[in-house]
Amino acid sequence: MILSLMLLLAGLLLLVKGADWLVDGASVLAKKHQVSDLAIGLTIVAFGTSAPELVVNSVASIGGYPDLVFGNVIGSNNFNLFMILGIAGLITPLAVQSSSVWKEIPFSMLAVLVLLFLANDYFSDALPALSIVDGLILLSFFFGFLYYVFTQLKSEPESGDFVVKDYSTLKIWGLIFAGLAGLIIGGKLVVDNAVSMAQSFGVSEKIIGLTIVAAGTSLPELATSVVASMKKNNDIAIGNIIGSNIFNIFLILGVSALIKPLNYSTPFNTDLYLLVAGTVFLFLAMFTGKRKRLDRWEAAILLLTYLGYTVYLVSGEL
Query: Phi and psi of 197, rounded to 5°?
Result: -65, -40
pLDDT at 70: 94
CATH number assigned to the domain with residue range 2-317, chosen from the 4 options 1.10.3720.10, 1.20.1420.30, 1.10.340.70, 1.20.1250.20: 1.20.1420.30
Nearest Cα to 279, choosing from 268, 267, 290, 271? 271
Q: Which of 55-59, 157-161, 302-306 has the highest average model confidence (pLDDT)? A: 302-306
Q: For residue 218, is pLDDT > 70?
A: yes
What span, in angstroms and rounded, lies between the C-alpha atoms of 20 and 182?
10
**159: which residues sit within 8 A by CB, 6+ positions away?**
37, 38
pTM: 0.81
What span, in angstroms and rounded, lies between the C-alpha atoms of 75 and 79?
6
Query: Phi and psi of 11, rounded to 5°?
Result: -65, -45
Strand-pairing partners, residue 95, are 293
The count of C-alpha atoms lying within 13 angstroms of the C-alpha of 55, restricted to the half-sphere facing its C-beta, is 29
Residue 129 DSSP SS3 = strand
User: Looking at per-residue confidence, does 184 or 145 come out higher?
Assistant: 145
Question: Apex CA 162: angle with CA 140 and CA 20, to 5°?
Answer: 70
What span, in angstroms and rounded, lies between the C-alpha atoms of 312 and 271?
11
Strand duo 129-130 + 262-263: pairing = antiparallel
Task: List, for residues 158-212, the tens digit of each pLDDT value.
Answer: 544 555 567 788 888 888 888 878 877 887 888 788 778 877 877 888 888 888 8
